[in-house]
Amino acid sequence: MSPIPLPESRRTNQVRGPLFSSERRLLGKRQQFVRDRSTAVPFAWIVSASEAGLRLDKYLASEARLGSRAKAIGAIERGKVFLNGEEASMSEASRRLSAGDTVRAWMDRPGTSKPRPRVRALGDLQILYEDDDLLVVNKPAGLLAVPLERRVEAPSVYDRLEDHFRDRGHGRRARPFVVHRIDRDTSGLVVFAKHAAAQAALKEQFRRREPERVYWAVVYGHPDPPQGTWRDHLT
């Protein structure tokens, strides 16, 4: 295990920042690590040549780090583990590490006390979030968000969610409540409510433009100027 060198400009009594606050302190010119109270492990490690090829979860499971694979998986699942500065997802638990990779464990990261909802799939449709009031779906391009009267035979997210509700024992009359929609050829997040009260509250938020919508587009060439505002009719 190799300690991470710190630039001279940051060698103060306490380092502040999203990955270092309350995690690491400096005593003089010698870098020392504060051990987490629940796991008693250092905060960050650099993968050595002899450790290259290990899976991320097995690397963290060693006695010198989190101490068990269960603790390693729990930390990854709760968003406490960072690989080369990026939060590691559950799909990266089996990733093979390379020499020089930086692995950090932010054990007291705010908002990580509970496991995060796992992404579930309905065919090629992903449910990114679901609770008692709403669910958020990652709609692929080419699939309608809700059925169209003139194209009742075309598949839609709404139809698949009806099947999802029935499969989960909500009854034959269970149905999602439409909050908003995006175009068929657009991929992105779509919110559905589970009952009328949630639908009314969410639609009111959209009416007040409280949710922030961000769209990404693929363009040819190099736009000139590189940024600006384009106003035009949609149809």
Q: Which residues contact 39 (CB under 8 A, 6 or more apart)?
A: 66, 67, 71, 105, 107
> Which residue is it, tokens 């309350």?
22
CA distance 130 to 198: 13
Phi-psi region at 207: left, alpha or beta (left = phi > 0; alpha = psi -120 to 50): alpha
The closest alpha carbon to 131, from 147, 112, 116, belongs to 116
What is the set of active-site residues? Answer: 183
CA distances for 166 relative to 129, 172, 176, angstroms: 18, 6, 11
CA distance 166 to 6: 56
Confirm if 155 and 145 have CB atoms less than 8 A apart: no
CA distance 189 to 145: 10
Q: Give the residue ranges of DSSP H helices in the chain.
A: 56-61, 69-77, 157-167, 196-207
